[in-house]
Amino acid sequence: MLRAVAGSSAAVLGALAVALFLLLLTLARDAALPARNRYGLVFDAGSTHTSLYIYRWPAGKENGTGIVSQVEACSVQGPGISSYADNPAGAGASLKPCLDKAMEVVPAEQQQETPTYLGATAGMRLLREQNSSKAEQVLAEVAKAIGQYPVDFRGARILTGNEEGSFGWVTVNYLLETLIKGNSSSPQISHPCYPRGYQENTTTAELYDSPCVQAPSTASPAESLTVTGTGDPAACSAAIEDLFNFSCGANQSCGFNGVYQPPVRGAFFAFSGLYHSLHLLNLTGGQPLSVVNATVRQLCNSSWQEVQEKFPTASSRQRRDACAASSYTLALLLHGYSFDRSSWPHIHFVQQVANADVGWTLGYMLNLTNMIPSEAPQRVVGLQRSSWVAATVLLTIILILTFCLLTAVCCQKGSSGYERL
């Protein structure tokens, strides 16, 4: 009797095992695992400060371009790297706290394959014109500092103005989906864009040919100068406009240097320096052009004490340069690009779009992702949920029958032994 039960159970067990095998073999399908993320680091080494942006995108691509999002931004303490011309090693050291932070964000197993770049802009472009060897030393030191970290460092370079502007354009469209009297021993130079009462001592070497103040052409580069602010809005605007060539010549519509420019139409986005110059004055909220003009004129006509009281949280440099920066912005937009009262409302002054800082770095990263080979998604063999449930039930039945079969066999052996006794 036990032998019959055991034989029957073995037959059923075998049939179920075959059924389970066929079920798994028939319903198994290849399935792609979610693409793992990849990371990229871009340093924006500007004239006054440096920032590190950490980006992330899926290893798989959409339309040939990585879907890049900003994970975090780290502001480097201290001035821009061009300020370290006489202390190049300091430029490299200044980057390390932000690099340490990046190493906490990027998974350790992916750090060595994380492309890392440093792009320097206006400050380093100016330093290169003044002293190319010092500029190269600064770049060498920042490259040395970044090279000490386990990342795929691909170089530090100075971007041209065209590159900076082009990558900024890419970023926006991607995110939108489509100088007071001194002592008698120092020459005195007035500065119409600095507030009345502001004073600073500098040297001819540091002043060079300022857009608003010309350094004495026969002076020694080491000569001490006293820069005095006169707070003259008209003189400041005139000095700023002399920076540009607005003549059109034969063209009736042009921007700069007689180059044709079509009339401004549609929506425009102003960011980076254009945003910050007006944001300090609280003029980035869509105010009419008349209000913007009046606010800038009032600022440029203020005394140094009034400016300090009006902007208590701003740095001394920001307060000093507020008139010059805002006047430059207006000259550029109104006389250069020909915005007027009717088209001014179509300019959107922004710092972020879709939780990402607007600037050239994201556009740079987007461009670079096209050079990074896309990884094929990892694939595994899997079952749909319903098939997995059916297979689990069959497996459970097989295990139960196996247990019953073993129990029956053990009982049979025990019974046979008893009879022999």
In angstroms, the CA 41 to CA 102 distance is 8
Contacts of 29 by beta carbon, 8 Å cutoff, 6+ apart: 381, 382, 383, 384
Type of residue at 247: S
CA–chain centroid gap for 416, Å, is 82
How much is the CA Rg of the chain, to the nearest whole Å? 35
Catalytic residues: 164
Check if the beta carbon of residue 339 is closer than 8 Å to that of residue 333: yes
3-state secondary structure 74-135: EECCCCCHHHHCCCHHHHHHHHHHHHHHHHHHCCHHHHHHCEEEEEECHHHHHHHHHCHHHH
In angstroms, the CA 153 to CA 274 distance is 31
**Closest C-alpha to 324, from 134, 194, 199, 161:** 194
Check if the beta carbon of residue 213 is closer than 8 Å to that of residue 179: yes
Type of residue at 279: H
Tokens 């009032």 map to which residue?
A: 298
Cβ atoms within 10 Å, residue 32: 12
In angstroms, the CA 50 to CA 45 distance is 4
In angstroms, the CA 158 to CA 246 distance is 28
